[in-house]
Structure 1
Amino acid sequence: MKPVVALALLYLVLIQPNHPQAMTWGALAVFPLELPVIVATLIALGRSWAGTALRIALVAVLWAVAVLKLADFATFTAFNRGFNLMVDYHLAPAGWMLAKGTLGTGLAGLALAAGLLGLLALGYALWWATGVLAGLPVPRLARPVALALVPLLLIPPVAEIGAARGVWVLPENLRPPGAAFTARVGLERVEQAIAARVDLARFQAAAMADPMRGQTPLFDRLGGRDLILIYVESYGRSSYENPLYAATHTSTLRTAQQSIADTGLAMRSGWARAPMVGGQSWLSHGSVASGMWLDTQSRYRALLASPRRTLFHFAQQAGRRSVAIMPAHVLPWPEGAYFGFDAIYNAPDLGYRGQPFNWVTMPDQFTLTAFERLELSRRDRAPLVAQVVLVSSHAPWVPVPEMVPWDAVGDGRIFDQWALSGDPPEVVWRDHDRVRDQFRQAIDYSLRTVGAWAARQGGDPDKAPLILVLGDHEPARFVSGTEDYDVPLHLIGPPDLVSLFDGLGWAEGMLPDPASPSTPMDALRDLLLTRLGSGASAGPDTQASAYTPQGRAP
C-alpha cells in the first residue's frame, strides 16, 4: 500500500498546474513523463549513499518547483504573468500587507501559518515517498536493469520538452503519451534567471542614454500654469469594455464632461499602455516619470541607482516646484528622493484625522482637498509639476465613501460614517461577484471625485492647470475580465494647452475612442516635455519608447 501512496504523491506533485485555467480535472489525466525516470533511478540506487544523495537533491528540486508553481498560480491570478524569482521576491511582504488589509491580521496570520506548515508537510511527504520507493525489496538483478533503463526512459521527457519549446517538431505517431511539465518549469526558471540578468544589463545601459538631457527651454508653453498628474488606482480599459462596469463609469464620465466644459476647460481622452496589471503601481508611476519601461522590480531598482532624470528633475531645471501627494505611504518614502521632488506628502503629512477605509488611508476627496490646502493655495509659489496618487479605488474596495460638499471636508472626520459601514473585506471577498460590484462602486467614486475636482479648477484660462488623469493599471484579471494592459488617460485644461496635444488620436471629451492608439507609459515623459517645451525634441516619433525590451506587455 505504501508504494501506491508514494507513487500517487509523486504523480500529483509532478502534474501540479501553475496557472488557474489549468486547474481542472483534466489535469489529472496528464501522465508525468518524469515519473518513470524518478522511480527507476530510486530503485537502481536504493538506500546506498548515492541513493540518499539523489533523494536529497530530488526532494529539494521537486519542492522548489512546486513552490514556484504556487507562486506562478498567485502571480497569474493577480498580474497575468508567471513568477520571476529574480525580480518578484519583494512581492512576499507586499502580499502580506494586502492580506492584512483584506482579511485582517488574525486571519492573514493563520493563512500564512497554514501555508508554511503545508510547505513543510510537502517536503516531509516527498522525503517519505522517495524513501519508500528507494527501499522497495527487489530482486538482485532488478537494480542494474533499472539503471540501464534510465537513459531510455529519459528519451520521452526530453523529446516532449524540446517539442514544447519549439526546438524540434515530433511526428504525431512519435509524440510521448504525457508531459514533462515539472522539468520544463524548472528549466524555464533557470533560463529566466539568466535572461533577467542580461535584460537588467541592457536596461542599465539604456538608462544612461537620455535624449532629453541638455534640452531647453522646457515647460515654457505652460507659462505660469501648473501641470498636475493624477493617478486613479486600478482604472483600466475594463471600465469601458466590461458590461459589469461600463454603464456606470461612462455615465459618470459624461456627467463630468459636461460640468468641466461648463467651466471653459477643454478635454481629450486616449489610452496609455501600463507595464503590468493587478498591482505594483509604482512601476507605472516610475515609467511615466523616467521614460523607461519598468515592468519588474529589478528595473525599478536599477533606475533608482542610475543618473536618469525624471519629469520632475526637468521641472526643477525649469524653475518649477515639484511635489508628490502619496496618501498610500504611511511611512517615509526613501525612493522618493531619487525622483526629484521638492516636497513629498505621505499620509501623515496630509492631515487626515478620520478613520481609514481598511487598507485605504483616506478618501480621494480629502487627498485632493489637502493638495489644494498644502500647495495650490500657497502664495508667491513657483508653478507646479505635481504627482497626485489617489487610492480610494485600491483593493479591497470596501467600504466606498460618498462625496460631501468640498467646503465640508475639513480634517476628514466627516467620512467616518462610511469608513466603518457595510461588511468587512473578509466577508465580501468570499464572493467574487460582490468583489466586482465593490470595484465598480470604488472606481465610480474616484471618477466622480476627479471630475468634480477638475471642474473646480476652471473659470480662468490664465490660471487653470493642465491636468493629466490616468489609470495606473488594470485590477486582477478575475475582476477586470479582460486581457488588456491599456488604461484611460484624460487631458483636461485650458483650450490653448490641450490643443498642444492634437494629432495623437485622442478623442475630444472624457470618453476615449476604443480604436485610438495606445501610448506606452514610458513614452509619456518625453511626450509631455516635447509638447510643453519649445526647445525640446525627442525625434520624429514621440510615441516611441526610450527602452523597449523583449517581452513587453502586448
Structure 2
Amino acid sequence: MSQDTSTRQETGTDGETEAPDSIPDGTPADSPKRPFTLTLRSLPRPRFAVRARARRWRAAHPGAAQALSVTVTLLAAALVVVALGMPNSVDRVHTSTFVRIPAEAVIGAAVMIALPRRPRVALAVVSGVALAAMTVLNVLDMGFNQYLGRGFNAVLDWSLFGDAESYLVDSIGHTATVAAVIAVILLVLLIFVLLALSMVRLSNLLARHPVLATRGTLIAGVVWITSSSLGLQMFGMPLATDTTANALKDQAHRISNAIKDEAAFRKVAKVDAFGNTPGSQLVPDLRGKDMIFTFIESYGRSAVEDPIMAPGVDATLDARTKALAKAGFHAKSGWLTSATYGGSSWLGHSTTMSGLWISNQQRYRTVMASDHLSLTDAFKKTGGFDTVGVMPGVQKGWPEQKWYGLDKVYNAFQLGYQGPKFSWSTMPDQYTLQQFQDRVHSRKPADGKSRMSFLILTSSHQPWAPIPKMVPWDQLGNGSVFDSIEKAGHPSSYTLTDDTHSKQEYGKSIQYSVTALTEWLERYGTKDTVLVFLGDHQPNAHASGNHASRDVPVSIVAKDPKLLDKVASWNWTDGLRPAHNAPVWKMSAFRDRFLTAFGSTPHPKKN
C-alpha cells in the first residue's frame, strides 16, 4: 500500500494538509515496522460525530437551539407531570387533574439536587422506568374499569389479554388486530424510554441550577404541605396530590389481597351445604321435568331500566310474556347481583352454578379443580337426568365440562353452521336454539331419563354490531340465510367508539336474544318444560354507563303452576320483566335457594 493511501491526512486550522505525527494505533508515521491497518478503532465514532455536528449547529443557530432546548425541557416536564397525575379511571381524566402539585415531584427534586452526578442519573433512569410502569398500570386500570368494572390485577389478569386479542380479531379482523398489538407494544416501549429520558433531563436541569432548584423545591414543598393541611382546591380538585404513591399502594394491596384470597377461598370452596346430599334427595320435585338453564350474554339491569334501551327491551319482555301466557306458560322474575361486569362471562356462569362467589380467575381455577357440587351436576347425580350443554361460544377444548357434570357438549364446530359470524358471536341465537331442538330437545334419552340442558346464547355479546334478525324457523337451514342480514348490518366499528350507538344496538341485541329464546319455548316447549334464563353480567360502561349496578334479570318459566308456587316465597315479579323493587340476591345465593325450593335436603360437606 503506497504512502499516499497508508497514512491518514488531517486538515489543519489554516486549511492546508498536514501529515499526522502517528497513525491511529500510536505508531510513529515514519516507522516502517507497522503499516496502517483499517480497524474499528480507526473509524470515527458516530456518537462523537453526532455530538460534534450538534455543537456546530447550536453555534450556528443559537436562538433556535435555545428555543428547542426549552421546548424539549417543557415537554419532558409535562410528560412527567401527566404521568404523576394519571388517574386510573376514565371519568377522572380532566385538565384539572394534571395542574396540581404532586408530592412525588417535590420529594424527587429534593433527592436529585442532593446527589452527585452518577447516582443522580441512575436514580433518574430507575424513577423514569418505575413511573412508566405505574402509567401503564393506570391505563390498564382505565380499560378494566371501563370494560370489566374493576381495576387490573397484576397477579391474576394477564391471561385475559389472550381473550382480548381474540375479541379484537372477531371485531376488526386479524390484520388490524396484529397492527394494533404491535402499535401498543411500541407505544409502551416509547413510554418507558421517554419517561426515563425525561427524568434524566430534568435531573440535569436541577443540577445545573442548584440554588434556584433548591428554592423552588422548598416553595413547592411548603405550598404542598399548606394545601394538604387546609384542603385547598383548584377547579374542584385538591391542589396537593400524591396520586402515584396512592396508585402504588393500591397495586400492592391488590397483589397482597390476591395472594391471601387464594388461600382463604380454597377453604370456602370445600364447604358445601349439599356436598354430601345423596342423589335421591336432590331436586325431587323436578323429576320427570325437561329442565333448561340458559344464559343470555350481557343481559343486565341496564337493558330493562336505562332510558335509551329500556323502552324497546321492556316492550319486548311484555309482549313475549303475553305470547307465552297464550301458549300456557307463566313466568316469575327477579334480580341477581353478578360476580362480574362487562365480560368474563364464565365467572357469572360458574357463580350461578356453584353457589360460590367466583369474582376472579384464580377462584374460577380453584372451583374447576374441586368437587364442589354444581347445579347442573346435581341433576346428573340424581341418576334421573341426562345432561347436555350447547356452547356456540366455545371454540377450543373445554375441560370445565367435567366439573359442570355434562354428559355431552356441542361447541361452535358441532352445530353445522355455515353462515356468517356476527362479530364475536359464531352464530345467531335463533340458529343455536333450532340446532338444540333438532339435535337434543326433540330426542328423548334412550334410557328413559329426563334431561337437564345448559345453553349459552351469544348474539348479545359486544360489540353488538352487526345484529342478526329473526327469520322464519323453517327457513334456518344451515345458516346461510343470515348472509344478507350480516352484510346489511352495521360494522363492528359502529359501536366501538360511540356510546349512544352502543346503547341502541345493545338494546336491540337483547330484544333479539329474548325473542329467539321465548319463541323457541312457545314453539317447542311442553307441559314438562321448565326454563330458567338470566344474564351473566351487565354490559360494559359504553352501554351501561359508569358506576352501573352489577344486577342482572333472572326468570323462571313453566306451564305447571305448582312449580311456580314453590318459589312464591321468593316474591319475584310475575312475567318476564322484574319490577324495579323486586328482590335482589347475590348470584351465589341462587344455587342453594333453587335446590331448597325444589325439595333438596342439605347434607353439608365441611372443610
Report the TM-score when normalising by structure 1: 0.88
Corresponding residue to 1:297 among 361, 378, 398 = 361
Corresponding residue to 1:88 among 137, 151, 157 = 157
Corresponding residue to 2:569 among 503, 514, 518 = 503
Q: Deviations along 1:299-358, whole A, 9 cap, x unmatched?
A: 111212222121122222101212211101122213333222111111111121212112
Q: CA deviation at 1:89?
A: 1.6
Following superposition of structure 1 onto structure 2, how do residues 4-43 of structure 1 map, counting pairs within 5 Å?
4-43=74-113
Corresponding residue to 1:469 among 533, 537, 540 = 533
Residues of 1 paired with 2:290 and 2:117: CA distance?
A: 75
Following superposition of structure 1 onto structure 2, how do residues 262-273 of structure 1 map, counting pairs within 5 Å?
262-273=326-337
Show the counterpart of 1:426: 493
Show the counterpart of 2:190: 121
Show the counterpart of 1:165: none
Following superposition of structure 1 onto structure 2, how do residues 444-459 of structure 1 map, counting pairs within 5 Å?
444-458=511-525
Residue identity matched to 2:530: L
Residues of 2 paired with 1:188 and 1:326: CA distance?
A: 38
Residues 222 and 44 (structure 1), Cα distance of their counterparts in 2 relative to 1, 3 Å cut? same
Residues 359 and 176 (structure 1), Cα distance of their counterparts in 2 relative to 1, 3 Å cut? closer
| SS at structure 2 position matched to 1:135 | helix
Residue range with higher mean Cα deviation, 320-329 or 25-34: 25-34
Residue identity matched to 2:417: Y
Show the counterpart of 1:250: 314
Following superposition of structure 1 onto structure 2, how do residues 215-254 of structure 1 map, counting pairs within 5 Å?
215-216=277-278, 217-254=281-318
Q: CA deviation at 1:4?
A: 3.5
| SS at structure 2 position matched to 1:467 | strand
Q: Deviations along 1:436-493, whole A, 9 cap, x unmatched?
A: 22112111111111121122244x52xx211001011110122123611111111101
Residues of 2 paired with 1:245 and 1:52: CA distance?
A: 56
Q: CA deviation at 1:154?
A: 11
Q: CA deviation at 1:213?
A: 1.3
Does the aligned pair in 1 maintain the 2:272–2:604 contact within 8 Å? no
| SS at structure 1 position matched to 2:117 | coil
Does the aligned pair in 2 maintain the 1:45–1:134 contact within 8 Å? no
Show the counterpart of 2:259: 197
Is residue 340 of structure 2 the alignment partner of residue 276 of structure 1?
Answer: yes
Does the aligned pair in 2 maintain the 1:357–1:420 contact within 8 Å? no
Q: CA deviation at 1:257?
A: 1.0
| SS at structure 1 position matched to 2:554 | strand
Residues 117 and 412 (structure 1), Cα distance of their counterparts in 2 relative to 1, 3 Å cut? same
| SS at structure 1 position matched to 2:158 | coil
| SS at structure 2 position matched to 1:271 | strand
Residues 138 and 510 (structure 1), Cα distance of their counterparts in 2 relative to 1, 3 Å cut? closer
Residues of 2 paired with 1:176 and 1:471: CA distance?
A: 40
Following superposition of structure 1 onto structure 2, how do residues 407-418 of structure 1 map, counting pairs within 5 Å?
407-418=474-485
Report the TM-score when normalising by structure 2: 0.81
Show the counterpart of 1:543: none
Residue identity matched to 2:432: T
Residues 361 and 140 (structure 1), Cα distance of their counterparts in 2 relative to 1, 3 Å cut? closer
Bigger relative contact order, structure 1 or 2, given CA contacts below 8 A and separation 6+?
1
Residues of 2 paired with 1:454 and 1:114: CA distance?
A: 47
Residue identity matched to 1:471: G
Aligned residues, how many? 525
Residues of 1 paired with 2:378 and 2:116: CA distance?
A: 68
Residues of 1 paired with 2:568 and 2:332: CA distance?
A: 9
Q: Deviations along 1:76-129, whole A, 9 cap, x unmatched?
A: 111222211122222211221222222222222222222221111111111211
Does the aligned pair in 2 maintain the 1:269–1:509 contact within 8 Å? yes
Residue range with higher mean Cα deviation, 36-45 or 246-255: 36-45
Residues of 1 paired with 2:417 and 2:429: CA distance?
A: 11
Query: Which is higher, the Rg of structure 1 or of structure 2?
Result: 2
Residues of 2 paired with 1:86 and 1:63: CA distance?
A: 19
Residues 61 and 218 (structure 1), Cα distance of their counterparts in 2 relative to 1, 3 Å cut? same
Residues of 2 paired with 1:521 and 1:142: CA distance?
A: 62
Residues of 2 paired with 1:431 and 1:353: CA distance?
A: 31
